[in-house]
Amino acid sequence: MSRPILLRVLAALPLLLTAAGVARAQDPAAVATPDARVGVALKGAQLGFLIDEGDYRLDYKVDETRSQRVWVASGTTSLPPLEVRDVWSVAARGKGPVPADLAVHLLQENVRMVLGAWQVNQGKDEYLVVFSAQVAADADAAALREVIEVVMYSADRIEKELSGTDAF
């Protein structure tokens, strides 16, 4: 990133943080209720799903030997005029803190991604490697299907690379 662009981003940071603070987050009770817009889009895309604690869970058969589970969040985040939801899939789980070489590898992988990014969700005793992408909250069937497939294939590729297993 060039220095002038970096300075502009840094100058805009307080405004962005303020705007993020006023972004509408959904009530936790509302998140437990599935967002019907997702159900309509998934049915339109002819994708089977289950409801998992208010989110939509899809189990994909990637090929003859591999499968991958993907979630589409019912909850959304808004920064007007945008309203987006997360689509994610787990690729790996490990004990303790994420190894530095894995973190670097995931950052290098992020450079290749057109849509979505790798994340590490660190807990007290374990971490999850998750691929996540955002999609418009009111995405139609074709757009939602495309994002789901990007997430599914990306997570499965890294799961296979890291472990060779099919746990997720």
What tens digit of pLDDT does each residue of 5-30 get?
Answer: 333 333 333 333 333 333 334 444 44
Digit-coded pLDDT (tens) for 81-137: 999 999 999 999 999 999 999 999 999 999 999 999 999 999 999 999 999 999 999
Q: Can you list the domains of the chain with their CATH numbers?
A: 24-163 (3.30.1460.70)
Whole-prediction pTM: 0.79
Give which of 87, 78, 66, 79 is closest to 149, Cα–Cα.
87
The tens digit of pLDDT for each residue in 14-72 reads 333 333 333 334 444 445 789 999 999 999 999 999 999 999 999 999 999 999 999 99
Q: How far apart are CA 11 and CA 30, in angstroms?
A: 35
